[in-house]
């Protein structure tokens, strides 16, 4: 669970909570027309004012929330509603689409499968205006580099279309980012399945629990993301023009595909828990069988031996020369009978062949 | 479960049930315009009559239901419907929004995580009129102090806007109050998870049950609260004006976030129960293995010893000088063979390494 | 399960099935205006004819279905549809609202928590006409006495309003009757919970099953009742006028509250089953531990004793004077080592402290 | 599972698949006006042509699908769509309502509880035209005899109303046929419950599984049937006139009642499985207790006896005259102590009283 | 899980990902009027240009995606949207219906039950234009041969109707292809059920898991397919004309039937898991009973023998001539009493009769 940093209860709406370890903001501006692209780094928010009016298409990327005054200036210049700004900064929020008077807010959660962490989330907020798109990210990073590259090279319709297409391209990048995470969870499940079928069940329940937790979190996330996409597509006053809606529908389809994968992995995880529990039961059964066989075999024999260990004066059997071998014969017959009984019960068989058989699926 | 105090079946509608231990009412009036604020304590309901008409914005806070006559007078002055008044007094009711002819009723449930109780609930009823807001609380308390402070200092738009904004601010306070409760339940689950992974499973099922019960109660509560917010936002004749609707939508989003948290904790709690059951099974397995190993090892040996404890006259082995050491050798070989078998079955291993391994998650 | 008495398959619609033990009908008429009330017992249905036309408000209460001809006469006088009449008589039906040409039918199920039975159901059918309300009950009883009393004393608006208000008052009485039943089921669960936490688990599963069955039945019932109320509120041509709709909404809210309670008890019951199963597992664990400790402790010692019970001629140890005490020392060390092992495994502890600990919940 | 006979994949639409063992068709015609009824057996489909036009009401009942040419002739005469005819013949289909240009198709599944089979299904297809109703059944039978009788005697409105009323009467018969099946399943569950509470759990899981399977199948069936009824009631162009809709709503209500019963039996079946599993666990517990008590009691005693069976030369105890009785005393004390311990653990009690207690439910 | 081949995150929309092992495209053209049919193999996409305009009905079948340039040429000629083309090539996609400006895209998943694989999927994409239908398949194959044959022979309305009817015929073939797969899964379940009832439970959990996995995958698939059919039927601008909609509704019904079968198999699979777990528990019970009987029988007897094996000097019993037979009598009585107790507990019975009983279902 990520720590949610949010204002104290009862605070006035629009309060921004900047965590102590917030990074200093880095502002990159990409201003482009079909003909040319101009990139620049900005430090003074005043330099952004020209882009607020209609004119060339502009993409402003803000990374790091360490300077509240600067964020407030940007919000003021682009008429970002205080509540929208609070949602941007007070991460994490659920993915959502909100329409405001002068612009639209899209909250997304980017997922990475970085190093040790199976699922590392980062909030990406996209503000879509008449002729600009502003993206806000908590950390410095280069996740949108492929999109930036497409603007630079002018490949595809990206430079000829408006802010809605740019917003689409960014959201496409976000949703595509879920696939590697799901696939990694799929690999974890595959490894656990192999372990379970090989009877290596020591850490399985905790690890399955961990995987199911991630899947549940991802499911909630993608569900919200899908709803946000749907709202952005269908609500009155959507910023997405019909030609771009075709593309957005494609992103929506991808989100549904992620959902599908997550659902199927959830079912597999549940099935694995069942197999695991069944395996544990079977192993207990095996242990019990060994105990039962050993005890049932030797306890009667020991009893027979005990009888002839008694010290009664008058035990005629003790004096016959054939008594001792006869006792061995009796004990042999007893043991043989019991072994026959266990074999008929199916408790004695070759353990190895059974384990291999378990792998042979339909 | 809180005791529900409600009128006997068949009583005429609008019957108020004042519990014997109800506190005496305390009425605080806050009358404000954008320019100034006047606060006063009122004991005679007559003094409230001027605020019923349109004019300055007024917030009347009633704490304690110990005086039925007084409550009936207030209802009369502000034209509060008898059924609305019954919902206010006969707590607890589910959170809901009801529109009446002269005003609107919002029933909320405030949650605290006080001292020993994980979840302490108190009903807060908000009556929204043309130029007034009346809040009713069962207990004396200062939960709305931050809002009161904002009115006093005039921070934000609170003094320039109508009763709908005040109602929003109060409901925002209520919904934000759920977060600490959920977080405390999250901590309980985290502690239980650590205990389960450390095999300290004695009280776990009952405590998990307790936590799940709280989560289920909270879920039902927030669900109703969310529905009430939705109804207040969307029903015809809503008292919330479009600019305030933007703010109310934000409260709605917070309620959805609480729901999300509660849902994820519910899933974690269910997973923990699974791990717990699996742990119990594994422990039984360990116990059985020890029993099986000990019994299987010594029962055959005891049998051998028993054989040579027999008192037959004719047992040639007893008289060979090498017989006794030979029996020891035979018993050693038997024990060694069994230990080898147990090792091949994987029943003998270092217990400690396994327990540590269980913590290593994917 | 109550026996459903219904016509044979293929019978013509509107067939009434009067059970053999049906009670003789008792008809009570209450005719009232805002000014005065007239009560009378009627035996000849002809006497009811004047009340079918518009005029004063009339409440006709029919208790007992023992006379088919009489019931058919009433149906004829008030133009009750044959299918409606069949639903009234062929109880039990699901709670529902049906609109017919000349009147409206409301089927309700009244619940009592009488003596030994946790849940005793009786069908109450309400026919709402222009200026009359007819209620049908299978048994003689006085469940509606509080309403009757309110009409007599003229308390509240009941005498000034139409048949819809009377119908509301009756349904309010029905829905309020669910609360004691739910509360009684809650007490059963509480008792079971205490038993389970005290390890008195003998009859628990069957009793839990019984309670869950009642809760499931109640849930289905209240669900239908709620749907019927909703249909009566919202369908075109509803007999409920807007002022009475406010009151009916209140009954609807009560039904939702019952649902809420039932749902929470269902979840508690499910959680109790989990705790019970976990308790059974834990008890098995305890039993196994005792067995393992006893067997593992004495089996090796018996083996040692057995060795020196052998009758070999050449066993040098037997002749040393210190051999016997030495064997005792060896056995003591063996036992001590095993006890140490069991203590390290946590199998030996004070049983009482554990049981008490189980009660300490979060 | 009934074998589905259907055309090979890719066959042209409307292909009829007549199974090899199909019965020869028997066609019964019932032509009636309010005044008179004419019944006849028809073998040549040409004789049916007069009934296709508007005129008197006609009910044509076709039993047995053994003659494809004849079926095709009927379809041609009454303008039955090839796809409709395929649904009629290629049974089983899910219950459904389909509107075609010249008539309407209602597919129903009739259920019987015949002899050994708990649930025997037969498809009944009803084609509703302007002035005719055609019913198709796979087998010869007299399920609709009550309806036929009502037409003959003219009881009720059946002869004065159109084809929609006849279709209603037939569907009423079909839905009423579900009740005996559900009730029989209820009896099976009741028997299983008694067996489980009496600890006779040998065949229970498989039989419960069988019952749940039937309930699940029935649920799906009635669900579809209900949906079909709803579609027939609400879709534009429904053949059911408003007066008949009142009757059809009644059939719909019956279907909902069957659903309710099925749902409650499903829940009971699930609860029984829980009780069964709990009973199995309890029995294992009992077995374990006996083993533990016996082993724990005698293993220490055997050890003591073993000690004094050792052959050491120097064992002073062996020579005291009081040693033997002393050993008996020691063994008695040991056994007594253990029995006391088991009694305190609650492992020794009267088994019978417990079993009886299990039946005493709340 | 099939490997999803899809473009890297952030790639420009419409990127085609041709796998390395893609087959070379084979293009078959079928151009027909009601009067005649012309079939041809095409290698140069230019030859397809005449079919893009309105005129005769044309079916173009493309098998194999090995040539990106060729696919792009086809897309260009028939104005297939880049996103549509990407969905066609970047398989697998979920079944769906998408409307584009100049044509419509239907994505289907074909299922086979080939050789060893229970479920082998292949994506079939259908592009429906004004006077043409283009189908895309990854592999070379002859799945649509029955449709092709119907065109050739002119059976049915296929040659007189437009591209919507052809699309219907193809989708009918696809949906009918699910039945054999479901039936094969049903056979697997039936085999598993027999194994479970015969107590052959070694590989069952893993195989059940496998089957449930296939059922879950199939369920998701058919669900999407059904949704796609529904969208194609109901969305504005659907390419399906009313007469063909009747046929498409039939395909929809088939999809619902597959869903029904899959759902019922899923429930059966879940029930089988329950029976399996119950069987494992019962077997453990049997093992425990044998152990308990053997140990409880012989441990007391061994104790008695042990007592008279003690070497005390003063044990009067040892010297009586009747002592030895007396001990045998005592041991006989002890054993008999225990056997009686076990019989009364129902632990001793004939194992075979029980197993047969288990098969006798209600």
* pLDDT tens figures, D19-56: 888 999 999 999 999 999 999 999 999 999 999 988 89
Handedness of CA C195, C197, C203, C209 (dihedral sign): positive
Q: Which of A11, A305, A317 has its CB closest to that of B306?
A: A305
- Over residues C95-132, the pLDDT tens digits come to 999 999 899 999 999 998 777 778 888 999 999 999 99
- Return the minimum-mean-pLDDT range out of A73-77, B180-184, D355-359, E178-182: D355-359
Nearest of E1, B10, D166 to residue A193 by alpha carbon: E1
Average pLDDT, chain C: 88
Q: Choosing among B4, B80, B206, which should be mutated to test the C contact, i.e. which has the most C CBs within 10 A?
A: B206
- Over residues C253-283, the pLDDT tens digits come to 999 999 999 999 999 999 998 888 888 888 8
State residue E58 phi and psi, 5-degree precision: -130, 135
Predicted local distance difference test score (pLDDT) of residue C201: 65
- Over residues D57-111, the pLDDT tens digits come to 999 999 999 999 999 999 999 999 999 999 999 988 999 999 998 999 999 999 9
Mean pLDDT of A107-131: 89
- The answer, for A98 touching chain B at a CB cutoff of 8 Å, is yes
Closest residue in chain E to residue A302, using alpha carbons only: E302
List CB contacts (< 8 A) between A213 and chain B. 267-268, 271
Q: Which chains touch C (3 or more CB pairs under 8 A)?
A: B, D
Task: Give CA–CA dist D205/D197, Å, rounded.
Answer: 14
DSSP B34: S
End-to-end CA distance of chain C: 39
Lookup result for tokens 């499973």 = B201
Predicted local distance difference test score (pLDDT) of residue E317: 85
- The answer, for B330 touching chain C at a CB cutoff of 8 Å, is no
- Return the minimum-mean-pLDDT range out of C40-44, D233-237, E354-358: E354-358
Average pLDDT, chain A: 88
Residue A4 in this model has a pLDDT that exceeds 70: no
Task: Give CA–CA dist B169/D14, Å, rounded.
Answer: 66
- The answer, for B321 touching chain C at a CB cutoff of 8 Å, is yes
Q: Which residues contact D349 (CB under 8 A, 6 or more apart)?
A: none
Q: How many CB atoms lie within 10 A of CB B15?
A: 15
- Over residues A178-235, the pLDDT tens digits come to 999 999 999 999 999 988 887 766 678 888 999 999 999 999 999 999 999 999 999 8
Task: Give CA–CA dist E217/A255, Å, rounded.
Answer: 18
Q: Which of D192, D284, D299 has its CB closest to that of E284?
A: D284
Handedness of CA A203, A205, A210, A214 (dihedral sign): positive
Q: Which of D180, D256, D312 has its CB closest to that of C324?
A: D312
Q: Which of B96, B294, B308 has its CB closest to that of C253?
A: B96
| Interface contact flag, A9 B177, Cβ < 8 Å | yes
**Residue E284 token pair:** 């453990």
Task: Give CA–CA dist C288/C284, Å, rounded.
Answer: 6
Task: Give CA–CA dist C26/C43, Å, rounded.
Answer: 7
Residue D329 confidence class, pLDDT cut points 50, 70, 90: very high
The neighbouring-strand residues paired with D362 are none
- The answer, for B307 touching chain A at a CB cutoff of 8 Å, is yes
- The answer, for E264 touching chain D at a CB cutoff of 8 Å, is yes
Residue B90: C-alpha distances to residues B5, B6, B17, B87, C179 (Å): 6, 6, 6, 5, 14
Closest residue in chain A to residue B274, using alpha carbons only: A205
Residue ranges of chain E whose pLDDT lies below 50: 1, 350-362
C252 or A314, which is more confident: C252
Predicted local distance difference test score (pLDDT) of residue D362: 37
Mean pLDDT of B43-58: 90
Instruction: Pinpoint the alpha helices (H) of chain D.
Output: 49-52, 68-77, 82-89, 145-153, 163-176, 178-197, 204-234, 242-307, 323-344, 351-359
List CB contacts (< 8 A) between E113 and chain D. none
- Over residues C166-200, the pLDDT tens digits come to 999 999 999 999 999 999 999 999 999 988 887 76
Give the predicted TM-score (pTM) of the model. Answer: 0.87
Task: Give CA–CA dist A359/A356, Å, rounded.
Answer: 6
Shortest distance, CA D333 to any CA of chain C (angstroms): 16
Predicted local distance difference test score (pLDDT) of residue B284: 86
Q: How many CB atoms lie within 10 A of CB B171?
A: 25
Nearest of A133, A109, A135, A132 to residue A121 by alpha carbon: A109
Task: Give CA–CA dist B315/B319, Å, rounded.
Answer: 8
Predicted local distance difference test score (pLDDT) of residue A362: 38
Nearest of C178, D69, C306 to residue B327 by alpha carbon: C306
| Interface contact flag, C313 B327, Cβ < 8 Å | no
Predicted local distance difference test score (pLDDT) of residue C350: 42
* Residue/partner pairs of A243-248 with CB below 8 Å, 24 or more apart: A243/A161, A244/A161, A244/A162, A244/A164, A244/A165, A244/A168, A246/E81, A246/E83, A246/E100, A247/A165, A247/A168, A247/A172, A247/E13, A247/E83, A248/A168, A248/A171
Q: Which of B246, B278, B302 has its CB closest to that of A205?
A: B278
List CB contacts (< 8 A) between D296 and chain C. 290-291, 294-295
Q: What are the percentages of helix, strand and coil residues in chain B, rounded to 5?
A: 55, 15, 30
Q: Choosing among A174, A289, A307, which should be mutated to test the E contact, i.e. which has the most E CBs within 10 A?
A: A307
Residue A357 in this model has a pLDDT that exceeds 80: no
Task: Give CA–CA dist E43/E139, Å, rounded.
Answer: 17
List CB contacts (< 8 A) between D358 and chain C. 202-203, 206
Helix, coil or strand: residue C42? strand
Mean pLDDT of A239-254: 93
Q: Which chains touch D (3 or more CB pairs under 8 A)?
A: C, E
Closest residue in chain B to residue C173, using alpha carbons only: B10
Closest residue in chain A to residue E9, using alpha carbons only: A176
Q: Which residues contact C3 (CB under 8 A, 6 or more apart)?
A: none
Element containing residue C31 per DSSP (H, E): strand C26-32
Residue C358 confidence class, pLDDT cut points 50, 70, 90: very low
- The answer, for C27 touching chain D at a CB cutoff of 8 Å, is no
Closest residue in chain C to residue D297, using alpha carbons only: C294
- Over residues A171-188, the pLDDT tens digits come to 999 999 999 999 999 999
CB pairs under 8 A between B and C: 171
Residue C351 confidence class, pLDDT cut points 50, 70, 90: very low
**Residue C1 token pair:** 């399960």
Task: Give CA–CA dist A202/A191, Å, rounded.
Answer: 14
Q: Which of B281, B296, B312 has its CB closest to that of A318?
A: B312
Q: Which of B83, B291, B320 has its CB closest to that of C250?
A: B83
């Amino acid at each position: 669970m990520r720590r949610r940093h949010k204002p104290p209860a009862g605070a006035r709406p629009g309060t921004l909570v900047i965590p102590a370890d917030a990074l200093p903001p880095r502002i990159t501006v990409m201003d482009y027309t079909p003909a040319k692209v101009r990139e620049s780094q900005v430090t003074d928010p005043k330099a952004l004012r020209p882009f607020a009016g209609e004119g060339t298409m502009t993409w402003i990327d803000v990374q790091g929330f360490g300077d509240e005054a600067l964020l407030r200036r940007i919000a003021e210049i682009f008429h970002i509603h205080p509540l929208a700004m609070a949602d941007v900064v007070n991460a994490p929020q659920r993915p959502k689409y909100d329409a405001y008077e002068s612009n639209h807010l899209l909250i997304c959660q980017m997922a990475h499968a970085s190093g040790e962490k199976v699922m590392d989330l980062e909030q990406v907020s996209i503000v879509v205006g008449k002729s600009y798109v502003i993206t806000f990210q908590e950390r410095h990073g280069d996740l949108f580099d492929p999109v930036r590259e497409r603007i630079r090279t002018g490949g595809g319709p990206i430079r000829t279309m408006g802010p809605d297409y740019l917003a689409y391209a960014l959201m496409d990048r976000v949703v595509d980012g879920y696939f590697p995470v799901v696939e990694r969870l799929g690999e974890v499940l595959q490894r656990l399945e192999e372990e379970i079928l090989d009877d290596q069940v020591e850490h399985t329940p905790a690890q399955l629990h961990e995987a199911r937790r991630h899947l549940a979190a991802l499911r909630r996330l993608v569900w919200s993301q899908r709803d946000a996409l749907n709202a952005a597509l269908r609500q009155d006053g959507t910023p997405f023009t019909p030609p771009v809606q075709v593309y957005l529908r494609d992103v929506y389809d991808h989100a549904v595909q992620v959902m599908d994968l997550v659902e199927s992995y959830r079912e597999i995880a549940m099935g694995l828990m069942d197999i695991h529990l069944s395996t544990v039961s079977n192993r207990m059964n095996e242990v019990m069988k060994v105990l039962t066989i050993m005890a049932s075999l030797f306890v009667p024999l020991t009893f027979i031996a005990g009888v002839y260990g008694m010290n009664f004066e008058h035990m005629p059997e003790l004096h016959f020369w054939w008594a001792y071998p006869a006792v061995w014969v009796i004990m042999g017959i007893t043991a043989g009978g019991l072994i026959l009984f266990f074999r008929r019960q199916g408790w004695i068989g070759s353990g190895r062949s059974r384990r291999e058989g378990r792998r042979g699926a339909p």
